[in-house]
């Protein structure tokens, strides 16, 4: 299995939209998450899993990100959760 993501929750906080989900990967070191936002102004990654991560997952971009796609870099076989805010 390669990198995959899901959207589990969407909402509105004031004039900003929020999107939350999970990601999983095996034999890959990250991938693209499509948030559905036009501009991503804030992004958080929360690692999960049975074993500790060697490296923290990171966003491979400077904020704000134009468009709905953000690229993350993770250790192989390290799932987690994500949350994005924007417009």
CATH of the domain at 26: 2.60.40.3940
Instruction: State the CB neighbour count (10 A cutoff) for residue 19.
Output: 22
Residue 1 clears pLDDT 70, i.e. is over it: no
pTM over 0.85: yes
- The tens digit of pLDDT for each residue in 38-54 reads 999 999 999 997 777 78
Alpha-carbon distance 30 to 23, whole Å? 9
Count of domains forming the chain? 1
- The tens digit of pLDDT for each residue in 9-46 reads 999 989 999 999 999 988 788 899 999 999 999 999 99
Domain hosting 79: range is 4-86
Q: Which residues pair with 14 in a beta bridge?
A: none
């Amino acid at each position: 299995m390669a990198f995959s993501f899901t959207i589990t929750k969407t909402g509105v906080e004031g004039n900003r939209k929020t999107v939350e989900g999970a990601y999983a990967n095996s034999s890959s070191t990250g991938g693209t998450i499509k948030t559905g936002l036009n501009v991503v102004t804030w992004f958080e990654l929360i690692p999960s899993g049975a074993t500790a991560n060697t490296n923290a997952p990171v966003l491979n971009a400077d904020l704000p990100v134009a468009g709905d796609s953000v690229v993350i870099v993770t250790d192989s076989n390290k799932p987690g959760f994500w949350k994005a805010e924007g417009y």
